Structure 1
Amino acid sequence: MKHRNQFRYVKSQHLEQVSVLRAEMNDFSYGKHAHEEFSFGVTLAGRQDFFASGAYHRSHPGNTIIFNPDEVHDGHSGVDDELQYRMLYIHPDQLAPVLKSVCSKQKADFRIVDTLLNDPLLRQHILSLALLIEDQTSNKLQQEYALYQLAVGITQHYGEYSPDQKARKVDHLLRQAQDYIHENIQADISLEDVSQQANLSKYHFVRMFRKQFGITPHQYILNCRINRAREDLESGVSLDDVVFEYGFSDLSHFNRRFKPVFGMTPRQYQQHFLSS
């Protein structure tokens, strides 16, 4: 079998912080990573195997996959046939106001409790918005309405946006440490710097952080830097400047960290956006 891995990212021209990934792959495996956005995916062909929320999952054609912001996951094709899927990324700042307009009882710490589900209506709304974003001729009204319909689909599936118990119990001190990382992502952050934000010893902090978020603080910092670097690449910042700005030792180091998350090298990713 000829192995073929293709990844196409498209940013919405009309909705800020909303983008789509169309992927076709069979011998590529994502490393553990997390996104700052909500991720809504639909498996179209093959089987999508991944680990998230403390469990292994298998997504068959027609299934919907949902990752909350900062939810660590990986992924690969689970069968010999080519895996095809679409993934819609929506930043909480974009999704929250729409959810609020649909359901006034939406909680500020809203998280979706399901990772894998089969909801034909929700699947239809995800694909409709994804296709509109890929279609460069669609207008703002069409995309805004499709986003609204997706919010309606979430409402119908989950009712009032009550966060699950796990979300309620997230340690406030760990969230403070997480906020510190986001605010100082370009600095040379040490483990001691971060653990002090939670008023914990370094090693106790590492254990608690890994238990809560699924990765170590070091891995989380790298993940955040990669997400910020991706935004700069999309904006046309030079590759050398991005490597220097986010503390990667050299381009090779950046390549090794970036490709397992986005399926292509940073240079390919930037060219992909600047040429589209």
Structure 2
Amino acid sequence: MVNRKNVTDWIHRAPCSSKLERIEAFISGYGYDLHRHDTYAIGRTLSGVQSFQYRGQERHSLPGGTIVLHPDEAHDGQAGTVDGFQYRMIYVEPALIQQILGGKPLPFIKSGISADPRLYAATNALLQSMGSPIDALEEDDAVFDLAHALSAVSGIVESRKTFDYRAAEKAREFIHSAIDRTITLDELAEQSGRDRWSLSRDFRLLFGTSPYRYLTMRRLDLVRSMLIQGESLVAAALIAGFVDQSHMTRHFSKTYGLSPSRWLKMQRVGFAIAP
């Protein structure tokens, strides 16, 4: 643990993974404005009280539970006491969960915090120390266990509505191939072989967000990667397909709950002082 006396907020990112993002962070007071992202945010509080607004209620996470924030659900984050809080979090794309479950409505944990031991056990490997990468096969096993634990704990009831997972996946793959240009829903429909409104409905059901939000989030992923590498805000915004820096900053703040400059500062501090 970190000595919290005179310690500023920090975020430490684990070594890169092709499947998910892992972080450990310390927040001394107010952390994040209300925001939403299109991944699952799954983690645990290591020390202190982690407080956040979620689905119209204030939640308080203590060590021992598992936080499961659903894609595109608005939430913020702040310390529940003057001591601040330290936590670990993984960000998992719904598409990865779908690849394991085979195309089902996304598992949903209503309260945002679970005391279920199956989820706690399933996240142990993924929420281990950020200091070293997870072995590739260990990560695959852990993600498989996590997907099935989410499904079991959420109590998914099979929907009678028909949806086309393969068409939605084709649309998702096409978005990745065209991040830096304008994409229309008609174009996605043509690429997937599904009519535009059925595709839009299926995409939300299977991946937890709309096609446009998914495109925006992938652009923001690219922005964050370029900022870490030292690219300027202006250049990163334009390369990623945003109209300008202001356009990118608005989306960045709504998605992560802080400005690009503050986010980048926390990354730099995190690399310096995190364990």
1:49-82 per-residue CA deviation (whole Å, 9 max, x = no partner) reads 324xxxx6764323312357xx322202599767
* Aligned positions of 1:1-276 closer than 5 A: 8-13=10-15, 17-22=20-25, 24=27, 26=30, 28-35=32-39, 39-43=41-45, 44-51=48-55, 59-62=59-62, 63-67=65-69, 71-76=71-76, 84=85, 86-89=87-90, 113-115=107-109, 116=112, 117-119=114-116, 122-123=119-120, 126=123, 130=127, 132-133=129-130, 136=131, 144=135, 154=146, 165=158, 170-172=163-165, 173-198=167-192, 199-201=194-196, 204-205=197-198, 208=201, 212=205, 213=207, 215-274=209-268, 276=271
Q: Give the structure-2-normalised TM-score.
A: 0.64
Query: Which blocks of at least 5 consecutive residues in structure 2 are unaligned?
Result: 1-7
Write the letter of the residue equivalent to 1:113. Answer: P
Alpha-carbon distance, 1:34 to partner: 1.0
Q: Please give the alpha-carbon distance, in whole angstroms, between the structure 2 residues aligned to 1:181 and 1:77.
A: 30
Secondary structure of 1:33's counterpart equals coil
Query: Which blocks of at least 5 consecutive residues in structure 1 are unaligned?
Result: 1-5, 97-105
1:133-160 per-residue CA deviation (whole Å, 9 max, x = no partner) reads 1xx5xx56xx559969966974995799
Q: Please give the alpha-carbon distance, in whole angstroms, between the structure 2 residues aligned to 1:148 and 1:197.
A: 30
Q: Please give the alpha-carbon distance, in whole angstroms, between the structure 2 residues aligned to 1:170 and 1:8.
A: 42
Q: Give the structure-1-normalised TM-score.
A: 0.64
Asked which structure has the greater RCO (Cα within 8 Å, sep 6+), the reply is 2
Q: Please give the alpha-carbon distance, in whole angstroms, between the structure 2 residues aligned to 1:260 and 1:225.
A: 14
Write the letter of the residue equivalent to 2:25. Answer: R
Write the letter of the residue equivalent to 1:171. Answer: D
Kept after mapping to 1: 8 A contact 2:164/2:202 = no
Name the count of aligned residue pairs.
246
